[in-house]
Amino acid sequence: MYHRFDAIIVGAGGAGLMAAAQLAGQCNVAVISKLYPVRSHTGAAQGGIAAALGNTEEDHWIWHMFDTVKGGDYLVDQDAAEVLAREAIDAIIELEHNGFPFNRTPDGRIDQRRFGGHTRNFGEGPVRRSCYAADRTGHMILQTLYQTALKKQVTFFDEFMLLDLLIADDGVCTGVVALDIETGAFHVFHAKAVLLATGGFGRVYKVTSNALAATGDGVAIAFRRGIPLEDMEFYQFHPTGIYKMGILLSEACRGEGGILRNGLGERFMERYAPTLLDLAPRDMVSRAIYQEIRAGRGVDGKDYVWLDLTHLPAEVIETKLPDITDFVRTYLGLDPVKDLVPIQPTAHYAMGGIPTDVDGRVTLDDKNTPLPGLYAAGECACVSVHGANRLGTNSLVDLVVFGRRAGRHMLQFVRENDFHPLPKEPDYRARAEVAWLLENDGNERVATIRAELQEAMMTDAGVFRTGDGLKRLQHKLGELRTRYSQVRIDDKSRTFNMELVEALELGFLLDCAEAIAASALAREESRGAHYREDFPARDDANWLKHTLVTRTSGGLQLSYKPVVITRFEPKERVY
Amino acid sequence: MQVTVRIQRFNPETDTKPYYQEYTVDVEPTDRVLDALNAIKWYQDGTLTFRRSCAHGVCGSDAMRINGRNRLACKVLIKDLGSKITVEPLLGFRIIRDLVVDMEPFFAQYRTVMPYLINDEPPPVRERLQSPEERALYDDTTKCILCACCTAACPIFWTTEWLGPAAIVNAHRFLFDSRDRATEERLAILNQRFGVWRCRTIFNCTEACPRGIQVTNAIEQVKRRILFEQS
C-alpha cells in the first residue's frame, strides 16, 4: 500500500510523540509504531526529568549544562548541552500545561529531588533538579504525550514495523517502508520529512533494563543505508538492576537516600567518589561495583552487591518509590523496607547513535552535512548531549527538548520543500529481506544466535573492555553473521508473525553490535562508559573526538569529528 | 522444574476455531510466565504468538488469561501457579492469532472519554499550581497502563456495549485533576446508556488490575460525581 504524508515519524515514545505534537494540525503527519504507542519504552523510565527550575533550592541552567558536560567526560558537544539545559525548563512547563501529573511542593509547584551527577555551583554538592512523578516519570511522560497526540488528532499506524529507509540517488530522504505486523502487508510511506525516533538497542546485551522491543531498528537501518553511527562504543550500564533479571531500580532510590553496600556491608562508594558518594555518575558507580566484586567483596563472593534502603522511612519508600517496591516484592519476594536488595549493573542506555545537529537533522560527516529530509531524536540519535556517559534524568530531557526541536524544524522543512520522487520499486529491498527470512531453509534458530550474541557482548563489550576481548568479540560476531545467513523460522504465516519480527530484529542487533565492537576496539583510551583496561587513562590529546563508523562495501570504516567546546575546558573528572 | 503449559491456539490462515496445545518446558520457580512462553517460542515452537515488550509489568503488552485470571504474563511467577498452567487470550475481544487480540475497540472506548487535559484558559508563564492534596485525588488512576486486564474481566463488557472500567479510570484521572475544565462534557459522556451506570460493582476489574488501581472505587467516585453535579 502507498501512503503520502508531509511528515512521517517512526516511533511513538517520548521523542516521536513530542515531535508529532509540533506537527499535528500544522501539516499532514503520521506516526508509525512497532508497538501500541503506550507500550513504548519511554514508559519504563522511572526517576525523573531534570530542569533547573530552582523550585526547592537555588539552581541555574548553566549548572545543569556543566554537570551534563562533566558527566559525559567532556565528550559532550557543548552547544547541544547548552540547548538541553536552557530549553529543559520551558519543555517541562509545556509538559505540565499538557497535564503531566508532577509531584508537588507544599505550595503547589513542581517538586524536585536529587539525582546522580547533578550538582550546585559546578560540583559543590548534590542539587534538587529532578522533576518527577513518584518513580513513574517515564510512564507519565508517555501517557501525557500520547494524550496530547490524541487531542491533536495525530494519525497513528500501530504495530507497523520499520523495514527500510528510502533515500533517493541524489541523497534526499523520501520516505520509509513498513510492515503491518497484523496482516503482513508492506506499506510505502512517501514523505517530505522522516523522523527516526526508534529508541535504543539494549537487547544486544544479556542483562539489560531494556524492553524486548529495544533492538535498534532505526539505528541499524540508517547504518545499512550508509549513514554513519556516532560514538557507538559508549554504552551505559545502570548500576542498580535487579540481580540476574536486569530490571531497573531507579537512581531515585539513591536520590532519596539509599546506599550501596558490598558483601562486607561497607559503603564502598566512599572510596570511589568521596563527595557525591552513591550519587556519582553511573559509569563510575557501575565500575566501582565490579571492582568490589573482582576484589572478592561481592555478596558471598558472588557477582552482586546490595542496595540498602532499610534506613529510609517506610513512608518514603512506599510513596516515592512505589513501583520499585512492587518490583522487588514481585520478582524477588523481598521487602525493601526491611531487606537488602541484590543488584548488579544492567545494560541501560546508548549514548551513541545516529548523528544529528541540534535541530534533529541527521548529519553525514565531520562537517555535519545534513541529509535532506531525514531527522532523528531520542535514544536512537546522538546529538551529542550525553557524550561518554549520560546523567540520570537527562534521557527524558533529551526526548522532550530534541523531539520538540526536530518537530519544529521538520515543520519548516515540509513547508519549504515539495515531495521528492520515490525511488523505483521502493519496497523491493524490504520485500526481499522478508521473503528471504520466510523461505530460508537453514538450521539455525533466531534465539540461539541471539543468546550467543548477548553473552559475547556482555563479556567483551560490557563495563570493562580490552583490545584482546574486543578482537575476540569481532571474531564471534563474524561467526554469528555467517550463522544468521543459515537462520530458519518455523512460522510462515502472514498474520502477526512475531518470529519473523524477532528474526528481523536479530539482524538489527547484529548491525548494532558490529558498530559497537569496531568503535570500541579503535578507541584506545578510557572515557566515561568506555573503559579499556589496556588503556585506563583518558587521553584528550588523541581521543577528544567523536567516533563515526560507516558501513561500506569494503567493511566498516572509522572516521572522527571534533567535539564542540564552548564554555568548559576539559578537566579531570572527580566527584 | 518442569511445567506443562496448555495454550489456546488459533491461526486464522489455517484454523476454523481455537484449540489447545500443550507444551512441557523447563523453568525456574522464580521465572515469569512470560519466560516460559518465550522458552516455548524460542526453542520449541516459533509459531506460538503473543505480545510482549518491557517484561516487568509497566508496558501492558502481555495481558492474557492465566489459569482463568487476567494477568500480565511478565508479572506472574511460576512458583505461584504450580506445574500446570493454562494460558488463553483475553475474553471479549476478537482473536487475531493465538494470544493476540484486537485492541482497537478497547482504545476506541478510551478515546471516547476525551483522555487528555482540557483547559482553554491561557496558561501561566510557569507551571499551574496544584497542591499535594489535589494531586493525591487522582494519583491512583494515573497508574493505568491500558493493558485491558480490567475491562476484559468485566462480565458486563463480555455481553453488553459499554465503556468498560479502563476508559472510566482514565476519565476519572482528568475529572479529579484540579487543572481540568471539561467536567461537564466528560460527565455527560459517562452518564449515557453505555456509561458508568452499566457497572454492577462486581469488583472483577479491581482484582484484575496489575497496577493495584482501586478500579471499582474510581467508577463509584465518578457515579457520585454525576449524581452530585446534577442535583
pLDDT at residue A287 in the model? 97
Rounded CA-CA distance A211/A158 in Å is 17
Query: Does any CB of chain A come closer than 8 Å to the CB of residue B142?
Result: yes
Query: Does any CB of chain A come closer than 8 Å to the CB of residue B43?
Result: yes
For residue B68, what is the enclosing H or E element? none
DSSP E strands in A313-468: the ranges are 341-350, 354-355, 361-363, 370-376, 381-382
Check B127 against A93: CB less than 8 A apart.
Answer: yes
pLDDT at residue B80 in the model? 96
User: ipTM surpassing 0.95, yes or no?
Assistant: yes
pLDDT at residue B229 in the model? 80
Q: What is the largest CA-CA distance in chain B?
A: 62
CA B103 from chain centre, in angstroms, equals 10
Query: Closest chain B residue to A40 measured between Cα atoms?
Result: B59
Nearest CA to B191 out of B222, B151, B152 is that of B222
Nearest Cβ partner for A148 among B55, B116, B135: B116
Interval A396-442: pLDDT, tens: 999 999 999 999 999 999 999 999 999 999 999 999 999 999 999 99
Check B58 against A323: CB less than 8 A apart.
Answer: yes
For residue B56, the chain A residues in CB contact (below 8 A) are 44, 245, 247, 327, 331
Query: Closest chain A residue to B111 measured between Cα atoms?
Result: A150
Residues of A with catalytic annotation?
282
Query: Does any CB of chain A come closer than 8 Å to the CB of residue B137?
Result: no
Query: Does any CB of chain A come closer than 8 Å to the CB of residue B116?
Result: yes
Check B56 against A43: CB less than 8 A apart.
Answer: no
The single-letter code of the amino acid at B161 is E
Interval B42-64: pLDDT, tens: 999 999 999 999 999 999 999 99
Check A39 against B61: CB less than 8 A apart.
Answer: yes
Nearest Cα of chain B lies from the Cα of A93 at a distance, in angstroms, of 6
Query: Which of residues 182 through 201 in chain B touch A, CB cutoff 8 A?
Result: none
Check B132 against A103: CB less than 8 A apart.
Answer: yes
Tell me which residues of chain A have a pLDDT lower than 70.
none
Percent of chain A with pLDDT over 90: 98
Interval A259-291: pLDDT, tens: 999 999 999 999 999 999 999 999 999 999 999
pLDDT at residue B230 in the model? 66
Rounded CA-CA distance A377/A382 in Å is 8
Check A136 against B143: CB less than 8 A apart.
Answer: yes
Question: In tens digits, what is the pLDDT along chain B, a chain of 231 residues?
Answer: 999 999 999 999 999 999 999 999 999 999 999 999 999 999 999 999 999 999 999 999 999 999 999 999 999 999 999 999 999 999 999 999 999 999 999 999 999 999 999 999 999 999 999 999 999 999 999 999 999 999 999 999 999 999 999 999 999 999 999 999 999 999 999 999 999 999 999 999 999 999 999 999 999 999 999 999 865
pLDDT at residue A574 in the model? 87
For the beta carbon of residue A413, count every other beta carbon within 10 angstroms. Answer: 19
Check B45 against A107: CB less than 8 A apart.
Answer: no
For an interface test with B, which of A42, A147, A440 has the most B Cβ atoms less than 10 Å from its Cβ?
Answer: A147
Nearest CA to B104 out of B93, B113, B112, B114 is that of B93
Question: Residues A416-432, buried b or exposed e (16+ Cβ, 10 A)?
Answer: eeeebebeeebbebbee
pLDDT at residue B231 in the model? 52
Nearest Cα of chain B lies from the Cα of A60 at a distance, in angstroms, of 16
